[in-house]
Amino acid sequence: MADKHLHIVAFDIPLPANYGGAIDVFYKIKAFAAEGIKIHLHCYEYGRKPVKELEEYCESIAYYKRKTTRQRLLSMKPYIVVTRNSDELIESLLKDNHPILFEGLHCCYYLDDKRLAGRAKVVRTHNIEHDYYLNLARVERDVFKKYYFYNESYKLQRFEKVLNSATGIAAISKNDVDYFAEKYRNVNHVSAFHPNERVEVKPGKGEFVLYHGSLEVGENNEAALFLVNQVFSDLKTPFVIAGNKPSKELKEAVAKHKHITLKSDISTTEIYQLIADAQINLLPTFQSTGIKLKLLAALYSGRHCIVNSFMVENTGLEEICTVANTSQEMQETVKKLFKQTFSEAEIENRKRILLSGFGNRENILKLIKVIYLPQPVVAG
């Protein structure tokens, strides 16, 4: 059988795999390589440096400078798209007839290019992007950033019709599948790729509650502030917040409470250690887009997991989380679970759910089928 080759166009260099999008891309690449797929990786570069480890999994790697000039804010295309185009990229894609996997709407500048007509072109959607940016705008406090997010949301909604030129869509969550399937062809659910291979919950009890996430993201900053001001201000249980680049407002809020600790700019290894050591991972979110990789990390490695409905609804993970939506519900649930050892029965239930539908090998086989099964020819 002839080798299978695949172009992957990535929005960023996926190592270090220390935020959601990079984690999904990197562990997807590893999973493709494990199945013998010859990967030709194309990365947009804007701050991260090339990493030699990627060469272990890829047949070839090319890097392109992301064009982040302010003038591109004036384009009718979304800024996250118009800053990711390259003559070198399209020339490279045209040298063969291999399928192309576009990572997110971000990378779809060339999706409807007539020169790629007849090619297998699959888009991995990480979110419903215009909804994601609309929610970023709603929680943003800086007036200029708020305007940018609103403007980008509008442009993304208009640009999304480019997905008509895809031969397939691999949506990361069931909610996203429902949305895209109403508008586009060949929409498939392929859950998030992640570093977890086994459910490894530490026996015994932890001594603190943990919230973790990239704190420079407005949504995560809002969630952390909500927990400090409305949950743990009246609850004296030890609480740890872990993540990079916390806001000044969050630092000031934490400083008012001796039982709340902020751990910023720590390594991925340290984050995973905190997840494993915590008695409870508490993970609210205020927008139900995609699937949160931090939730999978908490379920594979941590003990009790408390979430709100936005975090878990229609993910298939509801059965192995405890849902609490209001600050009072969260306080009562924390008090209850902080005393309870995580049982062997609960660990077995985690294994049953997570190892059936959320494993990387299962998901890569789904994605390979979407990419390589013959599809109707799509113009552009």
Write down the CATH superfamily of domain 209-354: Glycogen Phosphorylase B; (3.40.50.2000)
**Looking at 180-303, which runs of residues are DSSP E strands?**
187-189, 209-212, 239-243, 260-264, 280-283
Q: Which token pair is 281?
A: 């991972």
Q: Which token pair is 19?
A: 């935020």
Q: Which token pair is 130?
A: 């215009």
Q: Is 357 left (phi over 0), alpha (psi -120 to 50) or beta?
A: left
Residue range 2-20, pLDDT digits in tens = 789 999 999 999 999 988 8
Q: Which token pair is 218?
A: 């407005």
pLDDT at 306: 98
How far from the centroid of its chain's Cα atoms is residue 135's Cα? 15
Residue 343's alpha-carbon distances to 192, 203, 322, in angstroms, are: 27, 8, 14
pLDDT at 318: 93
| Architecture category of domain 5-194+359-372 in CATH | 3-Layer(aba) Sandwich (3.40)
Residue 21's alpha-carbon distances to 16, 32, 192, 234, 347, in angstroms, are: 11, 17, 9, 35, 27
Residue range 105-149, pLDDT digits in tens = 999 999 999 999 999 999 999 999 999 999 889 888 899 999 999
Structural domain spans, the chain: 5-194+359-372, 209-354
Peptide bond into 50 cis (omega under 30): no
From the number of C-beta atoms within 10 Å of its C-beta (0-12, 13-18, 19+), residue 256 rates as exposed
pLDDT band at 265 (very low <50, low <70, confident <90, very high): confident
pLDDT band at 288 (very low <50, low <70, confident <90, very high): confident
Residue 268 pLDDT more than 90?
no
Assess whether the region 5-194+359-372 and the region 209-354 belong to the same CATH fold.
Answer: yes
Q: Mean pLDDT over residues 167-181, rounded?
A: 94
Supply angle C-alpha 72, 25, 213, rounded to 5: 85
pLDDT at 378: 54
- Report the distance separating Cα 11 and Cα 34, nearest Å: 22
Q: Which token pair is 96?
A: 């063969």
Percentage of residues in the chain with pLDDT exceeding 90? 82
| Lowest pLDDT segment from 217-226, 249-258, 270-279 | 217-226
Average pLDDT, the chain: 93
- Report the distance separating Cα 243 and Cα 230, nearest Å: 20
Number of Cβ within a 10 Å radius of residue 154: 14
pLDDT at 2: 73
Instruction: State the pTM of this model.
Output: 0.89
- Report the distance separating Cα 279 and Cα 372, nearest Å: 44
CB–CB of 48/17 below 8 Å?
no
Q: Mean pLDDT over residues 20-46, rounded?
A: 96
